[in-house]
Amino acid sequence: AVAGGHNVQMTEHSHHFLALAVLTPADAVVHIAGPEALLFGTAGFLLPVLPASCTPEAVELHKKLWAQWWPLRAQFELAPDRSFPWTYSGNRPANHPQRRVGAMAVIAADFDAFKRLCLVGYTEELTKYLSSLTHPYWSTHVTLPSPPSPRPMALMGRDRILDFIINHLLPMKDDEHAWKHYLSLRAGQAGTKVLSVHQSLLGGRPDAHAFLAKAWHHQALLQIHEDLCSLHSCAICSLLKQMEKK
């Protein structure tokens, strides 16, 4: 959930993260001696040997994780035909899957604090908590072999936290208070699909910008894209014709 929002923005990586969560349930991750090693090893990110160009910090982290992973390997390592087919092209560096797994490991290390904040009335506190997460390595690295970044990077940015609240926390509550809270949430940065559908349907309206203000606006536009735009040409779109009449 933390690694990839389960919504109409679902990506291929999100499916992999959900599968990783099933393979490494919270009880196992929280109570095991090396939760970070368990997550990285099961995800297939722990190679026996790092490239020679790696920094001493990377070598040190890899050595620690590999030592913790070795006793768990027989139980949790996936067979080659079941391994995750991660893809890395098109990802922003801060969203690299290895950094997402690093964020999961930080949360697992203090899972009780995370659970206490997973309530509808504590979304501001939860946002502050997740925004403040740091890791001695992953706050400044994209992958195990990568060089350090010049500035620290957030393990979870605002948009990712908003996705988690909208698509996991609020649906679990499923009452009027949760619904009102959902409607009040301001949107994060609009993605390419959101902007494309927004321009097609609402670009000619003087109040078009107002339909990008809330998180539910973005989700509605994404749902339209999934249900209509990805299946039909704009030339035959009945919804587009209706919007032009408004």
Tell me the backbone φ, ψ of residue 38, rounded to 5 degrees: -60, -45
Is the backbone of residue 90 left (phi > 0), alpha (psi -120 to 50) or beta? left
pLDDT score at 92: 78
CA pair distance 65, 24, nearest whole angstrom: 16
pLDDT score at 1: 46
pLDDT score at 18: 81
pLDDT score at 134: 95
pLDDT along the chain (246 residues), means of 10: 44 76 74 82 89 89 92 90 82 84 89 85 89 95 90 90 87 84 88 87 86 91 81 67 60
Strand pairing partners for 186? Answer: 214
Contact 144, 99 (CB under 8 A): no
pLDDT score at 110: 85
pLDDT score at 9: 41
User: What is the pTM for the complete model shown?
Assistant: 0.77
Contact 206, 24 (CB under 8 A): no
Q: What's the 3-state SS for the chain?
A: CCCCCCCCCCCHHHHHHHHHHHHCCHHHHHHCCCHHHHHHHHHCCCCCCCCCCCCHHHHHHHHHHHHHHHHHHHHHCCCHHHCCCCCCCCCCHHHCHHHHHHHHHHHHHCHHHHHHHCCHHHHHHHHHHHHCCCCCCCCCCCCCCCCCCCCCCCCCCHHHHHHHHHHHHHHHHCCHHHHHHHHHCECCCCCHHHHHHHHHHHCCCCCHHHHHCEHHHHHHHHHHHHHHHCCCCHHHCHHHHHHHCC
pLDDT score at 63: 93
